[in-house]
């Protein structure tokens, strides 16, 4: 099963409010194992970069202006994601920007049935705990020491590891799901009934009784002759 884990960086929080997508990073999984294939791109937002957003991801308009606008580079992204399920943390946010950009340039939006939200999965499996990407990395022992600023590809790579752990580890990649279940039943073998044999009766002979009495007569102070405490 092919899946794509992705993350975005934007100029703000609302695509309908005029914010734009400026970076996307994608990581390919097959049977929940990273294949090594990734997709990463920066886009010119065709607007300014608010300072509060720049402080989060470090991307400024001076850098982004050297990159293509989304509409001129969308083909490579669409080709990479194909028809695979798309996994993101707080996925409704990332989908709003991805589909907003696709619609804006005349492309079909990604069907929401393909959306997998790791935030919702984490909330259902660990209610009451912290569910940020940093918190989930700490929970599952995912190294995020090199994460200084938000970056779409880096965050997608971290999320890919978190997603695998949320789904129970890499068991799906071991091929167990496709292995046939083989049940071996031992054949029933009919056994003929055995004839009943009368129990043996063991009776000591007269000589054996006499020998036993002679042995007992040699014992001094036998316990069975002692008086029992009252």
Q: pLDDT of 14-37, one tens digit each? A: 999 999 999 999 999 999 999 999
State the pLDDT at residue 22.
98
| 155 in a labelled binding site | yes
Q: Read off the pLDDT of residues 140-190 as tens digits, 9 standing for 90 and up.
A: 999 988 776 789 999 999 999 999 999 998 654 444 444 443 333 444 445
Domain assignment of residue 76, yes or no: yes
Domain assignment of residue 183, yes or no: no
Task: Calculate what percentage of the chain has a pLDDT beyond 90.
Answer: 69
Catalytic residue among 44, 89, 131, 150: 150
Domain assignment of residue 197, yes or no: no
State the pLDDT at residue 178.
45
Name the pLDDT band for 192 (thresholds 50, 70, 90): low
Q: Provide the domain count of the chain.
A: 1
| 9 in a labelled binding site | yes
Domain assignment of residue 208, yes or no: no
| 57 in a labelled binding site | yes
Domain assignment of residue 193, yes or no: no
Average per-residue pLDDT for the chain: 88
Phi, psi angles (nearest 5°) of residue 45: -80, -5
| 101 in a labelled binding site | no
Q: Which of 62-71, 88-97, 129-138, 190-199 has the lowest mean pLDDT?
A: 190-199
Residue 227 has pLDDT above 90, yes or no: no
CA distance 108 to 131: 31
CA distance 179 to 172: 11
Domain assignment of residue 184, yes or no: no
Tokens, residue 58: 């470090």
Domain assignment of residue 202, yes or no: no
Q: Which of 76-85, 86-95, 202-211 has the lowest mean pLDDT?
A: 202-211
State the pLDDT at residue 186.
45
State the pLDDT at residue 152.
95
Residue 224 has pLDDT above 90, yes or no: no
Annotated catalytic, 75? no
Domain of 103, in residue numbers: 2-178
Residues in Cβ contact with 97 at an 8 Å cutoff, skipping those fewer than 6 apart? 8, 10, 15, 19, 20, 21
Claim: this prediction has a pTM higher than 0.75: no
Residue 48 has pLDDT above 50, yes or no: yes
Token pair 């340039």 in the structure block, residue = 105
SS3 percent helix, strand, coil of the chain, rounded to 5, is 40, 15, 45
Domain assignment of residue 194, yes or no: no
Q: In this structure, what CATH number is given to the domain that contains residue 172? A: 3.30.420.10
Mean pLDDT, rounded, for 88-111: 98
């Amino acid at each position: 099963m092919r899946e794509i884990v992705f993350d975005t960086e934007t100029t703000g929080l609302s695509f309908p409010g005029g914010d734009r997508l400026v970076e996307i990073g994608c990581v390919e999984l097959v049977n929940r194992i990273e294949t090594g294939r990734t997709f990463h791109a920066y886009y010119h937002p065709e607007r300014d970069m608010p300072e509060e957003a720049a402080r989060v991801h470090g991307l400024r308009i001076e850098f982004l202006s050297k990159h293509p606008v989304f509409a001129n580079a969308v083909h490579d992204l669409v080709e990479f994601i194909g028809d695979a399920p798309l996994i993101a943390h707080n996925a409704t946010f990332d989908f709003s920007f991805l589909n907003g950009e696709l619609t804006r340039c005349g492309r079909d939006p990604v069907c929401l049935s393909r959306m997998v939200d790791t935030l919702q999965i984490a909330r259902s499996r660990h209610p009451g705990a912290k569910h940020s990407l940093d918190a989930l990395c700490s929970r599952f022992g995912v190294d995020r020491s090199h994460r200084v600023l938000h970056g779409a590809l880096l965050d997608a790579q971290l999320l890919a590891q978190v997603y695998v752990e949320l789904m129970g580890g890499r068991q799906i990649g071991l091929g167990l799901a496709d292995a046939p279940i083989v049940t071996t039943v031992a054949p029933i073998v009919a056994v003929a009934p055995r004839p009943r044999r009368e129990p043996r009766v063991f009776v000591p002979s007269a000589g054996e009784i006499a020998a036993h009495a002679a042995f007992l007569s040699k014992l001094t102070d036998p316990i069975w002759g002692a008086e029992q405490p009252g």
